[in-house]
A and B are shown apart, each in its own frame.
Chain A
Amino acid sequence: MNSSMITAAVSMNALQQKLDMLADNIANVNTVGYKRKTSVFEDILTSLNQQEQDFQQAGRRTPLGYSQGWGARLSSMQLDLSQGMLQQTGTPTDVAIEGNGLFEVRPDGTLGGSRAFTRHGSFQLISSGGGDRMLVTNSGFPVVAEVGGTESFITIPEGYNLTIEADGTLKGFGPQGSTPIELGKLKMMQATKPELLQSIADNLYGVPENVNIADVVTDVTQLPADALGISVRQGFVENSNVNMTDEMADLMIVQRAYTLSARAISSSDQMMNMANNLRA
């Protein structure tokens, strides 16, 4: 009786965690650049109760010992980095990535600060003094580009409009007749081990401290875009890759499993009641 209660309660806990994760995905169905989380269940440690030699009877199939399981737990929560649908907005500072790429940003605002990555390409231009404007994310973190081989932030002089080409090259177009200026190339990273990326706030991804960043993401800015299938689209945003149908189907499965576990708890509760009332 008590074992059943423990088993069912433990797995209801796991189902609750999965429900929380599904709710998170559903809440972010309209968030630009959001990547859904997935998780898997696993069964918990099984105890093997000893049986004496006398239990080895004819017709017994398994080795001596009675195994007892204790339920299920949520084993790993991972990001699903599949492509979301692109939507045209027409805003020149909106950028969407097609393919397995990530933008690099600096949440601290300095080039030497901590590195973060994102797919959320709804950038904006903020004034950085002297008429110049800097390209930042919608939370105000500067976007990193490679200019002449070194990293820098993207600054557009006054009077110039920003154009971003399919391979990430940044150009500024001035008044009619003037030559376009080169502003560098958007720094593009490719996630080789996407499951090691951690979600940090504001739709950014980071790498945990004890992991070498080079193992998780590689700089692919200088490689030709068609070699990797990564291209950048100005004027588009990438919608979240959450598929409502799949999430709702998972939600129903979790709900039904939860109900069944609750049924097992009430059943074992009835059994304990019977044992208590053996001698009324």
Chain B
Amino acid sequence: MLRGLYTAASGMTTQQRRHDAITNNIANINTPGFKGSNAVTRSFPDMLLSAMGGPEGTVNPIGKLSTGVFAEENLLSMNQGDLQETFRMQDIALVSDILVPGAVFDGSGKFVDANGTVTYQPQAFLSILTPEGEERYTRNGSFRTAADGTLLTSDGMRVLGVNGQPIRVNVSWDEVKVTSNGSLINGTTGQPLDGAPQLRIMRVDNPNFLIREGDGRFRYEGEAAGIRQIAANDRVDVRQGFLERSNVDTAQSAVDLMAALRAYEANQKVIQFYDKSLDKAANEVGRV
């Protein structure tokens, strides 16, 4: 069988996966706190080709042949989304620009130093509790309150405070003010509310270890030392009355969609030509 047939087929599958990732980005263009994903492709290991039929005992290498491509991973793009003012007292947006000494991060949140070590920009997240009692992270700050005053996300997960317990507010939210470090105080008196609640904001050193679970939640799968609460000198701002928009770029997504489609088509043409060649080999070679 001609090797290129499988290479082209792997190309089609990869472009399909890229298309799926871009479509998901497009679908979530209006989702607050959404981080776009980029499908990263990688080439299969190269194969060494040798010529046959030479003198006995010799190997005549011709060269390397790439055997295909596959979609390796779905990277999260951690760019800060724009802030949109909603005037809702329970909407919270995080503005995260955490600095690491000696690192100047590029547009994708990565810094490569002279030795080749890669550092990623840490990101801040709000902590929420699933019904099973596990901690998850989110940037979607569109909160609401339950009947007993517990602060919930828009689909019912409880929001955690610095002490690891869900936050409960017993007064009307018209009077609650959230300061820039996440503490909830009484807007008129300036005093902290009962129990001094403060939003639990975690700093993730390498955001690539966050797995997206859907429903606005991320799960951390890295080392325990790579995630901790933010310190006072981390540049993280909490803004009440704002929502962080999705960081998906519409124009770029539309262009990428077209690119994936045309690459798919190019691979399809390659398969069609291989098909014609095989047709000749099977049906016309040796025809009497």
Contact = CB atoms under 8 A, between A and B. Distances in A.
Contacts of A65: 211
A191 B213 CA distance: 35
A264 B18 CA distance: 12
Contacts of A72: 27-28, 30-31
Interface in B17-38: 17, 19-24, 26-32, 34, 37
B16 A62 contact: no
A8 to B, nearest CB: 5
Nearest to A280: B272
Nearest to B71: A66
Contact of B30 (A38, A70, A253, A278): A253
Which of under 10, 10 to 19, 20 to 34, or 35 or more describes the interface residues of B?
35 or more
Interface residues of A, number: 64
B26 A75 contact: no
A70 to B, nearest CB: 7
Interface in A37-64: 38, 40-46, 48, 55, 57, 60-63
B214 A275 contact: no
Contact of A212 (B37, B71, B147): B147
Interface stretch (A111-119, A146-154, A192-200): A192-200
A23 interface: no
Interface in A122-166: none
Secondary structure at chain B's binding surface: helix, strand, loop or mixed?
mixed
B258 to A, nearest CB: 7
Contact of A62 (B75, B214, B243): B75
B158 to A, nearest CB: 15
A80 interface: yes
Interface stretch (A89-97, A174-182, A266-274): A266-274
A243 B42 CA distance: 50
Contacts of B260: 267
B261 interface: yes
Given A41-B30, A271-B264, A215 B257 contact: no
Considering the complex of A and B, which 10 residue pairs feature the smallest CB-CB distances, nearest first? A11-B27, A69-B24, A45-B214, A71-B27, A46-B214, A75-B154, A4-B23, A61-B208, A41-B31, A76-B154
